[in-house]
Structure 1
Amino acid sequence: MAIRGTEIKIQGLTHRYSSRTGVTFNRVDLVSPPGEALAIIGRSGCGKSTLLHILAGILKPTEGKVLLNGTAITAPSPRWVMMFQAPHLFPWMTVSQNVGVGLSFGRWSKEETEERVTEAIKLVELQDFATANVQDLSGGQQQRVALARSLVMEPELLLLDEPFSALDAFTRSSLQKDVRNIAKRKGFNIVFVTHDIDEAVIMGDRAVIMAGSPGNIVHELDIDLPDPRDRHDTAVQALRTRLMATFQEAANYKKPESATLAA
């Protein structure tokens, strides 16, 4: 499975849902290098999920643009894949059938489909459940199926909208580590939104904090930690403390008086 990363450039991004609503976020600029795992942290209402939906091509910005290796994102694509909080699986299908559904729509050959599905299922450690119906799996296993369904498309960018938030702590921790390990082995980018400081530290290479109304990026912090990461490690705890303090500082952020909003 040959996956490669991509350079992400967000330039002057502004979004409002309609002329009758306020601006969600205003003139966001950000660059993420190939292979980076980028955490976007912020309180509800700052626009972080909206930003992720624009990266996925699900929404169009009011102003500005997003470039992946120089290509503007204007619609969904197999090159950038998004995972949501719910796995959204087809309950009447097996694990293998769910993982391969995107390839079937793409009219891949049977042989190549089987090869890629088998590898994706192995990556998420569900090979013993390949023929099982997804309704018989736990919540964590179902999210692994959704992850395999994303990976089978060999994306350059994986977007995560808090897909582990509904899972128990043990399962959530295991998936956080596994997703990071897979991304680093395969070299693709991750951009994920979260309220969880621990998740940002365990999964991310860098954290950006969004705050304000309209939202904007007000702080950035490199997460320079070796792998594997253990949340009880002293260095991990120290970084978590720094990030928490930065996040709390951002809660008091106010837009400068000189800033103007896009019409």
Structure 2
Amino acid sequence: MQTLELRGVNKSFGSLQVLKDINLTIGKGEFAAIVGPSGCGKSTALRMFAGLEFPSEGEALADGESITKPAPNRMLIFQEHALYPWSTVEDNVGLGLELAGIGKAERRERINAVLEKVNLSGFNKYYPSQLSGGMRQRVAIARALIMDPDVLLLDEPYGALDAMTRLTMQNELLRLWQGTGKTMLLITHDIDEALYLADKVYVMSARPGQVVRTIDLAMPRPRNRNGEEFAAHRREIMNLLGLDEG
């Protein structure tokens, strides 16, 4: 697994500064989350770890090495699943293996194994249009997991799902993380989602985004969303973001 770090990061697009003096560290096998208002640079920070954006100043690091390009050991999962509609589930999931020159027999074996992990066994020949939103997002996660990355970078992966499906998918993601021990970074607007899933929550201010607080969560899992400690952390984050809980 990998340690991820942003060290003294500033980022501007022209005259617009979106990140200011960002310092954060995500340990090997840790589940971290970033919450903050729209436009604060959360996704920009995530894309730096993916090698898709680069600091104007400072460094984005993986295991102490500067990130200069995308890498197969750091996989990014978007809110939109971005599946190929003309391809079956197994073809979507196995595309990376095919491009890597993996033979059909091994591809089939690995596809079946990863579909079992995400509770999609038996859906190999289905097309995305035949699946629910939650199932399509499971396919997107399977497509990332099949490459056995060290890091999963999740950019609002459940933002487009209904509330009940979202809760189910959160539990499935937690199960996957606990089963693989991968390093995970989640970007979300959902404070409860961050508190339910993460070991550590970084709270960012409005643009230019700064980390205004780092919250280490010692709550045992499974977490009680109605518990006193959970509610106290929720109030803390909402106060930092200037939100009215009422």
What TM-score results when the alignment is normalised by the length of structure 2?
0.93
Q: CA deviation at 1:98?
A: 0.7
* Mapping of residues 156-195 of structure 1, within 5 Å: 156-195=150-189
Task: Give the corresponding residue for 1:227.
Answer: 221
Within 2, Cα distance between the matches of 1:212 and 1:135? 37
**Counterpart among 80, 90, 97 of residue 96 in structure 1:** 90
Per the TM alignment, residue 234 of structure 1 is displaced from its structure 2 partner at its CA by 4.5
The correspondence for 1:123, drawn from 117, 121, 125, is: 117
DSSP-derived class of the 2:60 partner? strand
Structure 2: any 5+ residue segments left out of the alignment? none
Tell me the equivalent position of 2:129: 135
Q: 1:71-90: per-residue Cα shift (whole Å, max 9, x none)?
A: 32111111111111110001
SS at match of 2:34: strand
Report the Cα offset of residue 242 of structure 1. Answer: 3.4
Q: What is the CA-CA distance between 1:112 and the residue it aligns to?
A: 2.4
State how far apart, in whole Å, the 1-side matches of 2:109 and 2:59 are. 36
Work out whether residues 35 and 184 of structure 1, in 8 Å CA contact, stay in contact via their aligned partners in 2. Answer: no
Amino acid paired to 1:14:
N
1:233 to partner: Cα distance: 4.2
Is 1:60 the equivalent of 2:54? yes
Pairwise CA RMSD: 1.6
Partners in 2 of 1:148 and 1:234 — Cα distance?
Answer: 35
2:229 and 2:119 map into 1 onto residues whose CA distance is 29
Contiguous gaps of at least 5 residues in structure 1:
250-263
Deviates further, 200-209 or 224-233: 224-233
2:37 maps to: 43
The residue number in structure 2 matching 1:151 is: 145
Query: Is the contact made by 1:221 and 1:243 (CA closer than 8 Å) also made in structure 2?
Result: no
**Does structure 1 residue 215 correspond to structure 2 residue 209?**
yes
Aligned residues: 243
Corresponding residue number in structure 2 for 1:11 = 7
Distance 2:127 2:16 in 1: 45
Give TM-score, length-normalised by structure 1. 0.87
1:33 maps to 27
Distance 1:67 1:93, change over 3 A: same
The alignment status of 1:107 with 2:101, answered yes or no, reads: yes
Q: Deviations over 1:203-254 (max 9, x none)?
A: 11111111143211111111222222342445433433333334338xxxxx
